[in-house]
Amino acid sequence: MYEKEIDIKQLLSLLRKHLPVFIGVIIVILVLTYVYIQRSPVIYSAVATVEIEPRSADILGGGMEIVSAGTQGSYWSNKEYYATQYEIIQSRIVSQKVIDMIPEGSVLNFFGIDPSSFEDPSRLERIDPVRMLQGKITVAPQKNSNIVRISINDTDPEKAAFLANSVSSAYIDFNLEKRYVATREAAVWLADQSVNLKNELETSELELFNFKDENNILATTFEDRQSVLSKRIETLNNILTTQDIKRNALMAKMEEYRKIDFDDPEGGYLKDIAKDNRIVYDLRIKYLQALSKYKENESIYGEKHPKQQVISAEINKISSLLRDELASVVQSHEIELRTLENEIRKNRKMLSDVQSEAIGLNRLSIDFNKLQREVNTNQKLYDIVLERTKQADLSALLKSNNVRMIDRAEVPHSPIKPRKRLIFLIGLIVAFIAGFLSIILIEFLETRFRDFDELEKASKKSILGVVPKFKGEAGAENVPAEIVFEYSDQFAAIEAFRTLRTNIKLGNPDKEMKKILVTSALTKEGKTVLSVNIAASYALAGKKVVIVDADMRKPRIHKVFDIKNDVGLSTVVIGEVSIENGIDYDVYKGVDVLTSGSVPPNPAELIESKRFSDIIDQLSKKYDIIVIDSPPLTPVSDAATLSVLVDGVILAININKTPRDLYRSAVEKISKPGIRFLGTVVNMLDFKDKKRFASYYQYYHYEQYDSKPEKGKRK
């Protein structure tokens, strides 16, 4: 894709080229700016300053904030509060209050509307003064402060000041009224709540009294009764513990008694019992003494001796007494054990009863505390609401406000709009920008080539030649007017064709250029005139030249030389005449011409035929140079077909009118393998267009005019 590169030099060049457009755009925009300034209404701005605090003065103490409307706390809540206040200032209700301050019947006149100018009453009813006033209000909070500036813009400075002060006053009154209404509503609500809370308090107190009466809770408190029960439980637990220990001891003794061997008074169990029972102890001692005496006399007297029998009877008696005493001890222990167990059972029952009583007392305590808390809660709520009710009444009477007027709006003496110098400066800047953009837009929409460099980039070849625009007139000798070599005053054009002939040779030094095809992208680009003058240039250089008019659709060569066209290329191809009979010889200083002949119905088929190719080959053997004038490349494909039969193709272009896209398309058609594209000839160039072709203009202007030949004279 072709890209436009615009640098500073190009911009300056474009500026010179489109200077009238640039100046015209600037003048138009400056005129529009001047008209806008003159027609813009003169606007005055009046500013009133108010202070908005997050909360009003706490005259009645910190507790009053509960019944004060609009109190705020944290930073974020303050931010939302101020944003709300700004909306309220611009709200409809505040504006309506201002409208109410204007005398009735003159509201529309105040805003510059004449009611008598409206023929349709319905249109007058649709006018909303409140909305008109809202559109004039501007709220500007001052950074890092509680100050807010309320401004009104109007064409009348006195009205602007009046409205600014009225909006500020209306907002202050609205805020005070809102707080008063909110406080009064709070007071009424609190009064209703105090009656309800009083009834609830009395009901809860009555329920508490009935509960104490039913459960005999009069003098002592639950704490005292719970303390007594706790001590009784502790005492019973101690007693039961002691009794359990004593019972275990008795049961242990009973087990020892059952293990006593009465035949062994020296046994360990009997010794233990003797320690605790004096009688047993004494009987045991007597038993042991008698037994010892019996054993001492046994070796002296024998078993049947009266003394031994007396001692034996005494031993039996002591043993019987010992058994009886032990049986009595065991019986007494059993009685003691039964008595102890009976006491334990009673004590356990007593402990269970006390514990049950303690549990019941806990349940009563829970119910009692619940009723007591309800009474306390109702009492506190009632006291708070009663206090707040009185405070709300006082707050309503105080009419405190957190919004204050700081500075009233003064009548402005100088307008704020229009800022003529700034608007004119902006208009001037916009004008210059628009001027440059217009130039760029014109260039962007331009489909033609801007200069030769752009043309060479599109064809990827250097320009083969530049032929200036020329015009000649046929003389008495009936020489074609299109042949430039007949006019000495067309030095630039003559030199251009000589240069073109040289460039064709120098551009292809290793190949003989005998068959040259001349074509163009579009019609009317001067390819026929170019073909004729190329042929004349070679003929004047001593070459044997023939011009072949291969444009069998719109032939023109015969018109240039003013010869007949009934016989020519088409009749030669189809075999009606021979080549020699079809050529017009020496029509101009050695130039022969093979005209197109009568226009055939199928020119493309004739050009693609082998007979056509043979004709070109036969001509190349007879002539030094063959110049073929072909149809344009864009409408038909004849020239592309002919391109493979020649040694080189020259593309003519009228750079002043040929679009870039069509030119590129034509170049693509003759840049394929097998076709030698020699280059482009810029034809019919108007060197008076200094802006686009300055370098060529300077050269040819010097050569053409400074040599000062006699203008219009034939050689």
Region 523-531: mean pLDDT is 82
pLDDT at 712 over 80: no
**Confidence at residue 60, expressed as pLDDT on a 0 to 100 scale:** 43
d(CA 126, CA 369): 70
**Confidence at residue 328, expressed as pLDDT on a 0 to 100 scale:** 77
* Average confidence score pLDDT of the chain: 78
Task: Tell me the three state secondary structure of residue 417.
Answer: strand
AA identity, residue 255:
E
- List, for residues 321-343, the tens digit of each pLDDT value: 777 777 777 778 788 888 888 88
Banded model confidence at residue 69, pLDDT cuts 50, 70, 90: very low
**Confidence at residue 12, expressed as pLDDT on a 0 to 100 scale:** 75
| 481-705 CATH | 3.40.50.300
**Confidence at residue 94, expressed as pLDDT on a 0 to 100 scale:** 92
**Helix, strand, coil % (nearest 5) of the chain?**
60, 10, 30
325 or 417, higher pLDDT: 417
The residue length of the chain stands at 715
Of 515, 545, 544, 551, nearest to 532 by C-alpha is: 545
Q: Which CATH class, in words, describes the domain spanning 8-188+401-407? A: alpha beta
**Confidence at residue 49, expressed as pLDDT on a 0 to 100 scale:** 95
**Confidence at residue 393, expressed as pLDDT on a 0 to 100 scale:** 65
Per mean pLDDT, which range of 51-65, 105-119, 510-524 is the poorest?
51-65
AA identity, residue 639:
A
**Confidence at residue 272, expressed as pLDDT on a 0 to 100 scale:** 56
d(CA 520, CA 665): 11
**Mind giving me the DSSP string for 67-112?**
GSTT---SHHHHHHHHHHHHHHHTSHHHHHHHHHHSPTT-HHHHTT
- List, for residues 530-550, the tens digit of each pLDDT value: 888 888 888 888 888 899 888
Q: What is the largest CA-CA distance in the chain?
A: 217
Find where tokens 């016989």 sit. 567
**Confidence at residue 148, expressed as pLDDT on a 0 to 100 scale:** 94
Distances, alpha carbon 502 to alpha carbons 211, 372, 507, 513, in Å: 135, 127, 8, 11
pLDDT at 558 over 80: yes
Distances, alpha carbon 478 to alpha carbons 482, 486, 560, in Å: 12, 11, 11
| Percent of the chain whose predicted confidence (pLDDT) is above 70 | 81
pLDDT at 404 over 80: yes
pTM assigned to the model: 0.47
Banded model confidence at residue 91, pLDDT cuts 50, 70, 90: very high
Q: Which long-range contacts (CB under 8 A, 24 or more apart) does 169-174 make?
A: 169/405, 170/94, 170/95, 170/97, 170/98, 170/101, 171/50, 171/88, 171/89, 171/94, 171/403, 172/50, 172/401, 172/403, 172/404, 172/405, 173/97, 174/88, 174/93, 174/94, 174/97
pLDDT at 360 over 70: yes
Banded model confidence at residue 459, pLDDT cuts 50, 70, 90: low
105 or 683, higher pLDDT: 683
Banded model confidence at residue 264, pLDDT cuts 50, 70, 90: low
d(CA 134, CA 97): 12
Distances, alpha carbon 638 to alpha carbons 444, 575, 596, in Å: 33, 20, 13
Region 394-419: mean pLDDT is 80
